[in-house]
A and B are shown apart, each in its own frame.
Chain A
């Protein structure tokens, strides 16, 4: 019998999962460095996605952006009094606070109740200098006050704009506490940060790696096996409280298969080895290719995302001055000269929406009625002429003996970007702008000596993407103090070096404007200013491509939730009785 089974398995290739045994096999192109690290000391997308199956928060947001309670008994709002905003005599908000009550049935996977101490333990380490958290904002100004056994208040002073939408993390103090005390004792008087870091790795790796899987989790699934380089399996956590009706009707096991080569990932989809693909997997081109070969085996989805593709224009340094890149009219002309609608139709079947602002249409702050910069060659030429650039004998624009020759860089090896470059290069050539393509590896482009060093004239135009969660938009990409300089340790993200006094003023107001309607007004004006000066040439919002087989329900995501694991407890097979709550938009 066993022999027959093995021989059959050998002949049939990989075993198929899916409805047959109420499991789910997901393919992805990345493997997380670690899982369920409460302090997120790595910030990879795949880590966030996989953690979504195992994690639980006080509150969470669904695909539509509505906040719902998970560990907490209810969502804090101004109306129910759990969210409080304190103003001074001038009417300025000086602090805000959120009160949460932990559900009685909220438990870690070992059955231990989740307590306020778990949130306190998390916050203590989040703000500990020895813990390599990339950014502590906003938790470095947060304080937890215990009200009773299950209720606590978290206060932000100075106030935090999204206090009611972001809940603090939690860590199992009953599991990690003693190990942390050992770390604490060992490193208390250690001056060498590298030695401290090694000790930290020892501590955290004993709870978050393939060899030492998380001992307990709070979310709907718990990890059971992680074979590095191959797969990670999670099984349903029966202790999780927020289960759908009849949890047995929903997926019982989730296996992530790590397939780094995206072409191999595609073969796995075509050969029916995968039930679904992660949000971190396929390229757009592969998506269109897969969409042509569905044959009812799977369906391909293109989800509007929050990843904004754009071309930064370097407005800093002498070279930028000589080329008038620091003049809004030059940037407008460059934008009028290219046909972004045709570009997205030709390369992306029109599925990736052309953008005219850095904020996407999914955000409540999005301003629709800005200048759309539809291709207008005549207008572009007019603007060039107004700046004194006239066509030379070779057709290239020149001014004062200098040719309008721009270096255009992007991440080498990204075939989509390289094609976009070639199309834009041809369109700019048609209006007399000579564009030289100069690409570099991603490690150079995003390294310490390229984008942030604009004043040295290392680049003129750079194409890359920003990923912004539309819920937490602050407008800080474009603040003047975000221009990377030696003074701020080149830490800002305003790589074009754009500076606008009115924008800065509005940005500062918006940061402390707790009234949504008034905030929208401020952002309307900020976007109008930005759109008029176009420090960056907006291209389009990228879509996320994934596939899933028919009958798999509640495996959805949006630009807000970002990963299908946001609704892990409800993912299931219709044939097994799972009820569809959310459809992929």
Chain B
């Protein structure tokens, strides 16, 4: 197990190098660069100005040369400055954006898993019951409905209709990060204020998460319940509860480990549509904006972070498999 893990860790180094080269190359090969955006619309700009600016941003060099310059800096921990925010790219990502995203995505994943797994089991055990139909219908609607549409509806309802219906007594803020309560009001008042802003995007994000996990869990459980060993357990006269929770559940949950393991990098990547609709300044929006505005350093930090997380959690998932499934051994 230890040797296997070490080998996998060593394999990550060339893999991440290749990924960084691909990301840098693809970003650099996009049409346009930050200088174009400065130049466009300025009719007084001269060829000398353009050449000066291109040199200043290093854009007069071939992309491969720029890549090696970036790599040389990156291995010393210098990921350059954000073109759009004038601060170190690392600081922008890890201090300004990542905490906001984790505040949204981590509770969404935990709460939705805690809700969806039991519902999925229940839906499978009571297959074709009215509640199973209701849950299946909910899951299809939640998966199919576009986030931007559901988000917009929720915004209108909670921020406009609800206050009108309740004479202004109940409402939720229409997007943003909070900050209405001064720090002097106390930490819990600040936390309540934050929660108020968090509720809507959290609910919208959870809707989809619950639907996906519920469907996945239901399908796994149904498949497990048809296995021979389950039939044998039932034939031995074991109680239903014991068959379900002792024999079937552990095997049905195994794929959920994979699902959760592979979901974790996604937590860091943010939820671009939800963040956009609710003006929640997180990673998803940061990556999108950086790509659009050609903020190379931010793009590299964001995508490399996701790449590292993906390969690390892929390994952790594989190792966790051995823990939950005795049939798997890495020796």
Q: Using a CB–CB distance below 8 Å, which chain A residues touch chain B?
A: 2, 5-7, 9-15, 33-34, 42-43, 129, 132, 134-137, 193-194, 196-198, 201-202, 204-205, 208-211, 227-231, 257-261, 263-264, 267-268, 270-271, 273, 441, 443-444, 446-450, 466-467, 474, 476-477, 482, 488-489, 491, 493
B192 and A260 contacting across the interface, CB-CB below 8 Å: no
A444 and B163 contacting across the interface, CB-CB below 8 Å: no
In the complex, 5 of the A-B residue pairs with CB atoms within 8 angstroms, ordered by the A residue number, are A2-B186, A193-B58, A443-B32, A448-B31, A448-B36
Closest to A138 in B: B44
Measured CA separation A45–B40 after assembly (Å)? 13
Min C-beta distance of A545 to chain B, whole Å: 19
A446 and B36 contacting across the interface, CB-CB below 8 Å: yes
Q: How large is the interface on B (under 10, 10 to 19, 20 to 34, 35 or more residues)?
A: 35 or more
Which A residues touch B33, using CB under 8 A? 448
B41 and A467 contacting across the interface, CB-CB below 8 Å: yes
* Across the A-B interface, the 10 shortest Cβ-Cβ residue pairs: A229-B281, A489-B47, A447-B32, A194-B58, A13-B171, A15-B180, A6-B189, A14-B173, A193-B55, A447-B31
Measured CA separation A530–B60 after assembly (Å)? 37
Measured CA separation A398–B284 after assembly (Å)? 50
Closest to B51 in A: A489
A446 and B56 contacting across the interface, CB-CB below 8 Å: no
B192 and A211 contacting across the interface, CB-CB below 8 Å: no
Q: Using a CB–CB distance below 8 Å, which chain B residues touch chain A?
A: 30-33, 36-47, 49-53, 55-58, 60, 69, 80-81, 83-87, 91-92, 96-97, 100, 152, 155-156, 159-160, 163, 168-181, 185-186, 188-189, 192-193, 195-197, 276-279, 281, 285, 289, 292, 294
A11 and B32 contacting across the interface, CB-CB below 8 Å: no
**Given A12-B168, A261-B276, is A273 in contact with B174 using a C-beta cutoff of 8 Å?**
yes
Min C-beta distance of B161 to chain A, whole Å: 10
B86 and A14 contacting across the interface, CB-CB below 8 Å: no
B175 and A268 contacting across the interface, CB-CB below 8 Å: yes
Which B residues touch A489, using CB under 8 A? 47, 50-51
B185 and A488 contacting across the interface, CB-CB below 8 Å: no
Which A residues touch B86, using CB under 8 A? 33-34, 201, 204-205, 208-209
Pick the residue among A10, A13, A267, A444 that contacts B156 (CB under 8 A).
A267
B87 and A210 contacting across the interface, CB-CB below 8 Å: yes
Pick the residue among B47, B56, B276 that contacts A194 (CB under 8 A).
B56
**Given A134-B42, A205-B81, is A488 in contact with B96 using a C-beta cutoff of 8 Å?**
no
B44 and A129 contacting across the interface, CB-CB below 8 Å: no
B177 and A227 contacting across the interface, CB-CB below 8 Å: yes
Which B residues touch A193, using CB under 8 A? 55-56, 58, 60
A264 and B174 contacting across the interface, CB-CB below 8 Å: yes
Measured CA separation A226–B69 after assembly (Å)? 32
Pick the residue among B97, B169, B176, B185 that contacts A14 (CB under 8 A).
B176
A211 and B91 contacting across the interface, CB-CB below 8 Å: yes
Which B residues touch A7, using CB under 8 A? 192
Measured CA separation A263–B159 after assembly (Å)? 13
Closest to B53 in A: A132
Given contacts A228-B281, A231-B177, A273-B159, 18 further A-B contacts (CB under 8 A): A6-B193, A9-B180, A9-B181, A9-B192, A10-B192, A134-B42, A135-B44, A135-B46, A137-B46, A193-B56, A201-B86, A209-B87, A229-B285, A271-B160, A443-B292, A466-B41, A477-B43, A491-B47
